[in-house]
Amino acid sequence: MGISPFSSSCSDTNTIVEEKIVYKNNPNPSNYKIFRKKTTGNYMLIAINYPDCKNYEGNKILLFENISLTQLRKQKLIDPHFSDNNKFHSPIARFEPTKKGWDMGLEFIKCQNKN
């Protein structure tokens, strides 16, 4: 009796597509609404909502470096995951999508701008 990496006797919320796991609750990077923004120096902190994502009601706090909101929106997709893909800007940090997380993001920017 063997175990296949592509099947399980447990039920889960993931789907196998072309041997990749696709998480059903992942945000759709083209379906978002930015509802808060703070730019200081080279840093931009945004609060964004992905209605397709279920954790934290789809809310994320993302920190970007060396990009404006206009430039970020022009790329159409805003993926909250870290990536080294040169075609899209990805966040340099993520924070818990709460008041505490927003304040931590602002504190990070403040510390970076002191240097």
Q: What is the pLDDT along the chain (115 residues), one digit of tens a residue?
A: 444 444 333 444 444 444 444 556 688 999 999 999 999 999 999 999 999 888 889 999 999 999 999 999 999 999 999 999 888 999 999 999 999 999 999 999 999 877 6
Q: How many domains does the chain have?
A: 1
Does residue 3 form part of some domain? no
Gap between the Cα atoms of 48 and 59, Å rounded: 6
Does residue 16 form part of some domain? no
Q: Is the pTM of this model over 0.85?
A: no
Does residue 11 form part of some domain? no
The parent domain of residue 46 ranges over 27-114
The pLDDT of residue 70 is: 96
CA distances from 80 to 12, 20, 23, 45, 48 (A): 23, 19, 14, 12, 9
Spell out the residues 6+ positions from residue 31 whose beta carbon is closer than 8 angstroms to its own: 50, 51, 52
Gap between the Cα atoms of 51 and 83, Å rounded: 22
The pLDDT of residue 55 is: 86
DSSP 8-state assignment for residue 107: H
Does residue 12 form part of some domain? no
